[in-house]
Amino acid sequence: MSFSQELRQQGNYIFEAIYDHPFVRGIAEGNLKKEQLIHYVKQDFEYLNAYMRIYGIAISKSSTREEIEVFNEQIQFILHSEIHPHNNFCRMAGVSYEQLQGYPLSPSAHHYIRHMLTVAHEGSLGEIMAVLLPCPWTYLDIGQRLLDEVKPTERHPFYEWIHFYGSHADGVTSKFCNRLDEWALKSTDEELARMREHFMLSCQLEYMFWDMAYKLEEWPVPVTMNI
């Protein structure tokens, strides 16, 4: 079994919990509240900004043009394609995308971004790929399973979101899996253990991100910039 398949097996119980999460059920049933969609998009806009910065760090640690090309392509994907599922949520919430940009991070989004940034700064390229992988992989899983379960028509409120992740997230997932598997072949046991740990924590934080959006999570003591 390849290293990425081992990771997938190890994280399977979290993939299942994510698929059963009430926010994901709400996408399937088309019955999420406006505030939940807005909270998700506000946080995800910042999350994807951080994700692109991590690609930048990965580029600085790349040793071949092929590696640089993979990360560069993914930055373009976030900038020009991943705006479509956000726009789908905004339309259903009746707000413009621009209105939801530039907000402070909620605790779980903050935790997830700091986790990825720490690994990006301190880890190897293999560790960076392991910490990033649950992001495309869990969404691909959700999208493909929802296509199969819901078989949405264009009248479904989240038709575009489901089609986007069900059919466009496989490219990045398989590229990352292949690179990670190549990296794993030349890794020490210690590095393999670190890659496992980063992957599993990112899976947990994917779950927490959905939970944050569903429960409209905020800091227990409100954030204020006034001193």
Contact yes or no for 17/137 (Cβ under 8 A): no
Q: Output the smallest distance, CB 138 to ligand NSP, in A.
A: 7
Contact between 47 and ligand NSP (CB under 6 A)?
Answer: yes
Contact window for ligand NSP (CB under 6 A) among 17-25, 133-141, 189-197, 219-227: 133-141
Contact between 127 and ligand NSP (CB under 6 A)?
Answer: no
Interface residue with ligand NSP among 206, 207, 212, 214 (CB under 6 A) is: 206
Contact between 135 and ligand NSP (CB under 6 A)?
Answer: yes
Contact between 136 and ligand NSP (CB under 6 A)?
Answer: yes
Residues 6 or more apart whose Cβ sits within 8 Å of residue 212: 39, 43, 106, 107, 108, 109
Nearer to ligand NSP, 10 or 81 (CB): 81
Contact between 123 and ligand NSP (CB under 6 A)?
Answer: no
Contact window for ligand NSP (CB under 6 A) among 93-101, 117-125, 132-140, 190-198: 132-140
Nearer to ligand NSP, 46 or 127 (CB): 46
Nearer to ligand NSP, 57 or 109 (CB): 109
What does the CA dihedral 95, 100, 101, 106 come to, rounded to 10 degrees? Answer: -170
Contact yes or no for 5/199 (Cβ under 8 A): no
Nearest to 21 by CA among 212, 152, 199, 202: 212
Cα 34 to the chain's mean position, in Å?
Answer: 21
Total number of residues that touch ligand NSP (CB under 6 A) = 8
Contact between 139 and ligand NSP (CB under 6 A)?
Answer: yes
Looking at beta carbons, which residue is closest to ligand NSP?
135
Half-sphere exposure of 93 (CA within 13 A, CB side): 23
Measure the CA–CA gap between 123 and 128, rounded to whole angstroms.
7
Interface residue with ligand NSP among 3, 44, 74, 152 (CB under 6 A) is: 44
Tokens of 44: 């995800």
Measure the CA–CA gap between 156 and 97, rounded to whole angstroms.
20
Reduced 3-state DSSP string for 68-81: HHHHHHHHHHHHHC
Nearer to ligand NSP, 48 or 92 (CB): 48
Tokens of 54: 């991590």
Tokens of 224: 């204020």
Interface residue with ligand NSP among 23, 183, 199, 209 (CB under 6 A) is: 209
Nearer to ligand NSP, 127 or 206 (CB): 206
- Contact residues for ligand NSP, defined by CB under 6 A: 44, 47-48, 135-136, 139, 206, 209
